[in-house]
Chain A
């Protein structure tokens, strides 16, 4: 725990120094959801619902996307890939530093600073589009489920992206893998439109993939759109994906650290 706090503090100082950088990334993460909301607010002037969503529900869905993208979904793969290429990755192998713990602490500190920007932004968007606050009157149990599901979403995203970053040990250039994952993730996680718009066949396949559990699933618990059975099996799948992502990360880390070689002096 002391180690975790020390890592967190070091990265927090960095994040405060580069707060303008953090602000620009926040705008980039919020932008597409705000644009989608502008589109939907125009679309809802002639329709009362789309795929079972009313405008207040759609608004809450996209506010949820902004929150998850800015706070829960981290992107450790890019920097890790750079560290592998430059040889700085050796630090994780030679010193008593736990890679996952270190990345968790440094990513959390950046996200912590981002909270300063994202909270006022979310409040502003909620105010501008007139959020229906009654949608947030949920039982403690449901809030507990949402938090549990968000932690699982964080785990799936974090360990899968760390694993992607580690592939740089094998392929010198992994950018195409990262972007391939981002494109698939953006589409199949429900970031562009809620998955309820998708055809049934695609939805059936998507239930077995990890993407919907990184975004759509926790948001559907928030929006109360799941039956008891869907909720139970969804949480089960989400937990299984989280365990799998962690196991995969451990496996790839151990295999990778055996063949990794750093050059230079």
Chain B
């Protein structure tokens, strides 16, 4: 574990040096992602001019849900997006060979080799908005809710990573599908609406089978004073199971890797 942390620190510093060469890109990426989040938040203000609640969800709860979703999205953008974008090329050009020969877990390197600093300000702003909303509208909150909110947010990130990573693996069989990293995106976007009100079919599907509800809906519930212990337990279990499954599938997919040379 310590070895991996040290390795990640080296990746991190390497990426920081690289990113500092492209300062304009840093500011523009942040500006674009902040504007994108702002547009979504604004639409909720417009919708809630027509009503005080949507199936039990108030404007403040919807804004908190959106802030949590975009924070999770920024974590993806910062830690994973560049790596997932490079994934197809790694497999198709045979550069994966180099990674497989290294004495480190290959899934760790293909997932986390590059870190993007381009979303730092945007992530901090989403976190700031989250704190503002909780303090202004849902405070006082028992400490246990904060801790559970954090725990389930991390579980949501693991679920999102595992599902997203598994959708990349068909590239070992299909070959050149340049945009396969975008296959999971529309499903991930589903987590920006409250999954608990989506009806008899979608709600159980995206809570228990593809547990996207744990990315934003369940953390929002925890931070607004609702704790459903069996659901929270299931979220942590699902995160661990999907992470394990992603690792097993990675090893299975690697057996079908044919490299690209000669």
Whether chains A and B associate is yes
A residues with CB within 8 A of B: 18, 20-21, 24-25, 27-28, 30-32, 34-35, 38-39, 41-43, 45-47, 50-51, 173, 175-176, 179-180, 183, 186-187, 192-193, 197-199
Docked-complex contact B46 and A199, CB < 8 angstroms: yes
Chain B residues with CB below 8 A from A183, complex form: 32, 35-36, 39
Docked-complex contact B32 and A24, CB < 8 angstroms: no
Docked-complex contact B186 and A30, CB < 8 angstroms: yes
Q: How far is the CA of A180 from the CA of B33 in the complex (A)?
A: 10
A42 smallest CB distance to B (angstroms) = 4
Q: How far is the CA of A41 from the CA of B35 in the complex (A)?
A: 27
Q: How far is the CA of A25 from the CA of B180 in the complex (A)?
A: 9
Docked-complex contact B189 and A31, CB < 8 angstroms: yes
Q: How far is the CA of A199 from the CA of B46 in the complex (A)?
A: 8
Query: How many chain B residues have a CB neighbour from A under 8 Å?
Result: 39
B48 smallest CB distance to A (angstroms) = 10
Docked-complex contact B25 and A192, CB < 8 angstroms: no
Q: How far is the CA of A50 from the CA of B46 in the complex (A)?
A: 11
Partner of A192, one of B32, B39, B55, B186: B39
Docked-complex contact B199 and A24, CB < 8 angstroms: no
Docked-complex contact A24 and B177, CB < 8 angstroms: yes
Chain A residues with CB below 8 A from B24, complex form: 173
Q: Which segment, of B6-14, B93-101, B190-198, B227-235, faces chain A? A: B190-198
Partner of B50, one of A31, A51, A186: A51
Docked-complex contact B183 and A24, CB < 8 angstroms: yes
Closest to A42 in B: B197
Further pairs besides A24-B180, A42-B198: 5, Cβ < 8 Å: A21-B178, A24-B182, A38-B199, A43-B51, A183-B39
- A contact patch SS: helix
Q: Is there a chain A Cβ closer than 8 Å to B49's Cβ?
A: yes
Chain B residues with CB below 8 A from A180, complex form: 32, 35
Q: How far is the CA of A240 from the CA of B53 in the complex (A)?
A: 41
Chain A residues with CB below 8 A from B261, complex form: none
Docked-complex contact B28 and A28, CB < 8 angstroms: no
Docked-complex contact B39 and A186, CB < 8 angstroms: yes
Instruction: Give the 7 A-B CB pairs with smallest separation, nearest first.
Output: A31-B186, A176-B28, A197-B46, A42-B197, A39-B193, A43-B54, A187-B39
Q: Is there a chain A Cβ closer than 8 Å to B185's Cβ?
A: yes
Q: Is there a chain A Cβ closer than 8 Å to B262's Cβ?
A: no
Count chain A CB atoms within 10 A of each CB in B35, B46, B182, B199 and give the residue with the most: B46
Docked-complex contact B179 and A41, CB < 8 angstroms: no
Docked-complex contact B177 and A21, CB < 8 angstroms: yes
A17 smallest CB distance to B (angstroms) = 9
A66 smallest CB distance to B (angstroms) = 12
Closest to B28 in A: A176
Chain B residues with CB below 8 A from A51, complex form: 50
Chain B residues with CB below 8 A from A199, complex form: 46, 49
Partner of B177, one of A20, A179, A193: A20
Please name 18 pairs of A and B residues whose Cβ atoms are closer than 8 Å in the assembled complex, sorted by A.
Answer: A20-B174, A24-B177, A24-B179, A24-B180, A27-B186, A28-B182, A31-B185, A31-B189, A32-B186, A35-B189, A35-B192, A38-B199, A41-B199, A42-B55, A46-B53, A180-B35, A187-B39, A193-B43
B254 smallest CB distance to A (angstroms) = 21
Q: How far is the CA of A187 from the CA of B43 in the complex (A)?
A: 8
Q: Is there a chain A Cβ closer than 8 Å to B42's Cβ?
A: yes
Interface 0/1 of B179-215, CB less than 8 Å to A: 1101101110110111001110010000000000000
Docked-complex contact B186 and A28, CB < 8 angstroms: yes
Docked-complex contact B35 and A192, CB < 8 angstroms: no
